[in-house]
């Protein structure tokens, strides 16, 4: 593998996967059950889900307490491993 290939791979690694893009979209769906499920999935993914942090931060202020808790748990999982 040449030097160009290494940079190309590194740049591709920084982009969110298709699965992650779908989960982030689900966070803004307006369907609380779907949003909560996305939070739980992002929690299991952990640090690679860092692209979802802004959307998860927004959910911390949602009216549904269970959704807020799920968003907080996902954020904790993502951030804990980054520290």
> What residue numbers bound the domain in which 76 lies?
3-80
pLDDT tens digits, 2-17: 444 433 333 345 557 8
Confidence class for position 26, pLDDT limits 50, 70, 90: very high
What is the domain count for the chain?
Answer: 1
Q: How many of the other CB atoms lie within 10 Å of CB of 13? A: 9
**CATH number, domain at 50?**
1.25.10.10
Residues 49-60, buried b or exposed e (16+ Cβ, 10 A)? Answer: bbbbbebbeebe
| Closest to 53 in 3D by CA, of 17, 30, 78 | 78
Q: What is the pLDDT of residues 45-60, one digit of tens each?
A: 999 999 999 999 999 9
**CB-based burial label for 73 (10 Å; 0-12, 13-18, 19+):** middle
pTM: 0.79
The predicted pLDDT at position 12 comes to 43
Mean pLDDT across the stretch 14-32? Answer: 90
């Amino acid at each position: 593998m040449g030097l160009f290939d290494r940079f190309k791979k590194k740049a591709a690694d920084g982009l969110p996967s298709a699965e992650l893009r779908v989960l982030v979209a689900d966070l803004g769906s307006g369907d609380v059950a779907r949003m909560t499920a996305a939070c739980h999935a992002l929690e299991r993914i952990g640090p690679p889900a860092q692209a979802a942090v802004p959307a998860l931060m927004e959910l911390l202020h949602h009216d549904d307490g269970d959704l807020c808790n799920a968003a907080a748990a996902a954020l904790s999982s993502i951030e804990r491993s980054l520290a």
